[in-house]
Structure 1
């Protein structure tokens, strides 16, 4: 098979079959970064680029919209493809009806300011979109612990339920941000004399940030360019502290695992009867990079749901979101 460019409408045709190729746009708009991918329905990638966060709750709608607009413009310049059959925008920060309307307006403006002609636009929560792309029409659950955290589940018949994912101000328990905040809190508590035993977390964080005292740490936390992702990045020192036997680090890991398990228990109760072939998919940097938290989490969940299985996602979220878009065309 070969591809030939149709100069009339800047789309591509299948040289063997003479049929128009269907194109999809997939956008993974997270709290830390945003990935846009332009593919055909067979999975061939024509353009893919990573940019900064598009979570309006963290950076505001104006900045988030600019990131989306720039990515869409870059995709068109690179490919020359104009007609897109479906675009799936899987965006962080969609937790309420009002949040959805804010993001929809932001996405609509970005698309109108781009050269693309898009047949259908899907805008939904990033975890929900990933879950649909993972499970298709099968029952299953998805638990994510990255910068933020959330759990979603589906019965495979259209019912989708959630737990967690309420953002850093009131939630995100067990996430990288939550762990980073707990680490920083432990450092300040020890400095104040509210924590009796010293913790190696202090030295590890100071080394990471290349600072030497608590005042410099405080200045770093409250600097003008602060982002939640920077606090989440602090969580990377936890595995090292655990390997050194630090009691406070172990407590943080246990509590993170318990919080993620509580989210999982909640969505599994909401979704209904769980069969033996029910799978809980796991994604996010915390679960992928911290073996202690991963094991503790599985043990806690198995206490109530011994028959379920776990699958650690080995693809990037953008691949599942692209699959979600493709499934909507079928």
Structure 2
């Protein structure tokens, strides 16, 4: 009898579910909105997850799931794990699936395991949020960063977006001596005309962290136009991500010559200046390590994590 796995990537911006068999064949895959309870609350997270699970069952008719790997943002503490576990338990009870084994992990940790298997390595993600995880390949996993937008997420899309908006407000106040093209680029992106409209956008009732992260999309254009503040923000982002990487590598050390740091997330994939600066900073400390920019979607690595647990 064929065995099936569920892989769920519950990120800060979106959630993807994939139902696959033991050979990796995809029977159902769908992406919907965030299930990060820290961003949208537990009730909304539960509803999104329940609807997604039921969509998968309705579309496939497959009921028995050998392993379900829930890779969820917000699983950073024991309390966070307990909250997410309750959300998942209620969603499972409201779905038609019979799941025999459930894995609940931080989304970065689960992706790392799917990437490295039994090998040592690290994963640095900079998307809406940011975090670095590393493993020695023998079951030990360490982390740095990933503490959320209120106190951390340095070098992430959210952090960059906030830095960009802070720059615009500081210039408007007269606290910055030089003008910045970031103002015009953000106004064009949001289809607004002045600082009051920008303030209204920030504090509107339906604001989300993902919307703040989207502001980071203007950074590359501003850099190409030679904007000094945009270049400063890129340097700061790269430095923060390198500090995060150094911290987690020191925790997991020693680092051998074949050690790979996997890189994922929209900031590292779509901002070549940040990517180059980041690599340069890390190479100064660890000249022998190599980097691998992930070219698959995170859900594929999480599915690998689920499939490995079948063996």
TM-score tier, shorter chain, comes to over 0.9
Partner Cα separation in structure 2 for residue 302 and residue 45 of structure 1: 38
Q: Return 5+ residue gaps in structure 1 as ranges.
A: 1-19
| Equivalent position of 1:155 in the other structure | 136
Partner Cα separation in structure 1 for residue 253 and residue 293 of structure 2: 23
Aligned to 1:174, which of 155, 176, 185?
155
How far residue 329 of structure 1 moved from its aligned partner, in angstroms, is 1.1
How far residue 272 of structure 1 moved from its aligned partner, in angstroms, is 1.4
Matched, 1:278 2:259: yes
After TM superposition, the structure 1 = structure 2 runs for residues 34-45 of structure 1, keeping only pairs within 5 Å, are 34-45=15-26
| Equivalent position of 2:126 in the other structure | 145
Give RMSD over aligned pairs. 0.4
| Equivalent position of 2:41 in the other structure | 60
Aligned to 1:85, which of 66, 70, 88?
66
Q: Return 5+ residue gaps in structure 2 as ranges.
A: none
| Equivalent position of 1:287 in the other structure | 268
Partner Cα separation in structure 1 for residue 88 and residue 193 of structure 2: 44
| Equivalent position of 1:105 in the other structure | 86
| Runs of 4+ with deviation above 4 angstroms | none
Aligned to 2:113, which of 116, 132, 141?
132
- Give the SS at the match of 2:309: helix
Aligned to 1:184, which of 157, 165, 175?
165
Partner Cα separation in structure 1 for residue 234 and residue 191 of structure 2: 24
Aligned length: 311
Partner Cα separation in structure 1 for residue 199 and residue 52 of structure 2: 35
- Give the SS at the match of 2:114: helix
| TM-score using structure 2 length | 1.00
Deviations 1:55-102 (A, max 9, x none): 000000000000000000000000000000000000001110000010
Partner Cα separation in structure 1 for residue 242 and residue 191 of structure 2: 34
How far residue 112 of structure 1 moved from its aligned partner, in angstroms, is 1.1
Partner Cα separation in structure 2 for residue 134 and residue 143 of structure 1: 12
Partner Cα separation in structure 2 for residue 297 and residue 195 of structure 1: 26
- Structure possessing the higher radius of gyration over alpha carbons: 1
| Equivalent position of 1:115 in the other structure | 96
Matched, 1:301 2:274: no
| Equivalent position of 1:325 in the other structure | 306
Matched, 1:198 2:162: no
Matched, 1:210 2:169: no
Partner Cα separation in structure 2 for residue 269 and residue 50 of structure 1: 36
| TM-score using structure 1 length | 0.94
